[in-house]
Chain A
Amino acid sequence: MNARSPNTAPLREPAWIRDQIVPAGEPWIGTLAAGELLRIVDLEGNQAVDTLFYNVRDPEERYSAVDTIRAQGNIYLTTGSALRSNLGATMLTIVEDTCGRHDTLGGACSAESNTVRYALDKRHMHSCRDNFLLALAHYDGRLNKRDLPSNINFFMNVPVTPEGGLEFADGISAAGRYVQLRAHMDVLVLISNCPQLNNPCNAYNPTPIQILIRAAG
C-alpha cells in the first residue's frame, strides 16, 4: 500500500518510512522527528490506542491532558487539536481524523485499577500500564512510573454529560478509520494497544492497529 499510481493519486505523497502492525494487547515505542507525520489506523474498528508523547531532547517535557484541554477549551480531541506538554508547548497537532473524536480523560487500565473497577480477581489481567512500564524499562532506563501522566485514548469514546457524569460508551470508530498527527518537535511515542476485556472501550475484543510514519508532504 506504499506505492500510489500517478493515475489515481494526483499529488504524489512521500512513501511511508515506517509501516508496522501492532497486535492486540502489545506496546509500541518509537520516535518521530519534527515535521514527520504519524498515522494510527484502527484496522478492525473500536480499538482503544493508549498513547503518550515525550520530548526526545528533554523527556521531562511530556504530553499533558489537562494543559491540552485547558488550552483548547474542550475535552475531546479531533482535527485541529494541539497536543500540549506539561510546559505548555505544542508537541503535535492532529491534522486528519476520520473517526471524529478521541478521549484524553479515561487514562490507561492497570492491574490495580482493574481490582477497583471490576473485581479483586481481575488483578492478573494484562493492562496498558503494564505495557507502558515494560516498554519504558526496555527503552533507555530514563523513564518509569513517574513518567506516566494521563494519556490519550485514540478511537475511544468517553462522553462527559453537562451534569458531570462520565461513562465508557460504545466506540464511534470503525474498521479502517485513522488519525494523523504532525510532530512539532522530536517526540518519543509510547503506545499500548489496549488489552482491556472488561468494558466496551474495545468492544470486548482487542484487535490490531497499524502505525505509519512519513515525512511531511
Chain B
Amino acid sequence: MTPELWTENLKPGEHWSGVLRRGTSLRITALQARANVAAMMYNYESLPERYNLADTLKAQHTAFLTAGCVCYSDMGRILCSITADSCGWHDTLCGLSDAAMVAEKFGAGSFQQRRNEFYKNGRDSMLNELGKYGLGKRDLIANINFFSRVTADADGALHFDEHHCRAGDHVELRFEMHTLLVLSTCPHPLDPQPHYGPAPVTLRAWVSGAASDTDPCRLHCEENQRGFRNTEMMFLP
C-alpha cells in the first residue's frame, strides 16, 4: 500500500474529479452504510475515449462488477481494474438521480435553506465536474454505481438491495491508463430511503505499479488478456 500519494474525504453528496495515472491505485471506503458512489471515467490523454458499459459487460459476461473485473473503454482498452472489493457487487445499469427525482422524493432542499448541505442530484453533480474539463451533456455516459446492488428478476424487473453496503466497505481500483475519474456520492436513484441521506466516503491513492503477467484481473478471462494487450500498446517506449 506504499508509497501513499494522497487522501481525500468526500462529504455526503459531494462531487469530485481527478486524474489517476497508470500504475496508481485508489481505495474508496464507505464511511456509513448505504453509500453510493457514481463514477464516470475518461482517457485523460484523449477524452473521447471513455468507459463503455456494454463493452465492459460483454467482455466479462456479467451485468455487475466486482474484484477481478476490469472497466473497458470504447476502444477495446482497460481504464482500470477492480483489484479488491469487500461487498461483491457494484451496479452498472441504473444511472443517476436527477433534480426532478430528488425534489419529488425529498422535497426542496435549496442552498438558501440548507447552505452546503443542500440536496444534490447525480446528473447535475456530474455535469458540474465534467464542465471543468470542457465536457458536458454529450459526455453523460452510463455510469457505475459503486457499493450499490440491483438485481434483475426473470422478467427483467429491478430490485434494489437495501442492506448491501455496510460501513467500512471498500473497493480498490488500479488504473491501467491515465484516467479522468468523475465521482458523485449522491444516493442511488432506486434507493427507497425516504429522507435525503447520502453517505461520506474516503479516497486513498497509492503507487501500485501496473498489472503483472499473473495478475488476477488479466487472467480473469481470455478477453481481459487481449484488453490488457491493447492497453499496454499505448504505453510502449
Chain A contacts to B: CB under 8 angstroms: 60-62, 64-67, 69-70, 73-76, 86-88, 101, 105-108, 110-117, 119-120, 129, 144-150, 160, 162, 164-168
Contact B64 A164 (CB under 8 A): yes
Given A116-B223, A117-B223, A160-B152, is A150 in contact with B48 using a C-beta cutoff of 8 Å? no
Contact with A along B132-157 (1 / 0, CB 8 A): 00001111111100000001111111
The smallest beta-carbon distance between B232 and chain A, in angstroms, is 13
B193 CB-CB contact with A under 8 Å: no
- Return chain A residues, CB-CB under 8 Å to B139: 146
Bound-state CA distance A117–B227 (Å) is 9
Instruction: Return the chain A residue nearest B158 by Cβ.
Output: A73
- Return chain B residues, CB-CB under 8 Å to A112: 74-77, 230
Instruction: Return the chain A residue nearest B223 by Cβ.
Output: A116
* CB-contacts of B188-232 with A (<8 A): 189-190, 223, 226-227, 229-230
Bound-state CA distance A119–B76 (Å) is 12
Contact A120 B229 (CB under 8 A): yes
- 6 A-B pairs with CB atoms under 8 Å apart are A76-B156, A86-B123, A88-B100, A112-B74, A116-B72, A162-B152
B57 CB-CB contact with A under 8 Å: yes
Chain B contacts to A: CB under 8 angstroms: 48, 52-55, 57-59, 61-64, 72, 74-77, 89, 93-96, 98, 100-101, 123, 136-143, 151-158, 189-190, 223, 226-227, 229-230
Contact A113 B93 (CB under 8 A): no
Within the complex, which residue of A70, A115, A146, A162 is in contact with B95, where a contact is CB–CB below 8 Å?
A: A70
Contact B53 A150 (CB under 8 A): yes
- Return chain A residues, CB-CB under 8 Å to B141: 149
- Return chain B residues, CB-CB under 8 Å to A105: 53-54, 57, 63, 93
- Return chain B residues, CB-CB under 8 Å to A74: 152, 155-158
Contact B230 A65 (CB under 8 A): no
Contact B230 A64 (CB under 8 A): no
Bound-state CA distance A117–B89 (Å) is 23
Bound-state CA distance A177–B58 (Å) is 26
- Return chain B residues, CB-CB under 8 Å to A66: 53, 93-96, 142-143
Within the complex, which residue of A62, A119, A148, A166 is in contact with B57, where a contact is CB–CB below 8 Å?
A: A166
Within the complex, which residue of A88, A108, A144, A162 is in contact with B54, where a contact is CB–CB below 8 Å?
A: A108
Given A70-B189, A105-B54, A116-B76, is A160 in contact with B94 using a C-beta cutoff of 8 Å? no
The smallest beta-carbon distance between B116 and chain A, in angstroms, is 26
Contact A106 B54 (CB under 8 A): yes
Bound-state CA distance A153–B226 (Å) is 25
The smallest beta-carbon distance between B156 and chain A, in angstroms, is 4
Contact A107 B54 (CB under 8 A): yes
Within the complex, which residue of B58, B96, B143, B190 is in contact with A117, where a contact is CB–CB below 8 Å?
A: B58
Instruction: Return the chain B residue nearest A199 by Cβ.
Output: B58
The smallest beta-carbon distance between B182 and chain A, in angstroms, is 15
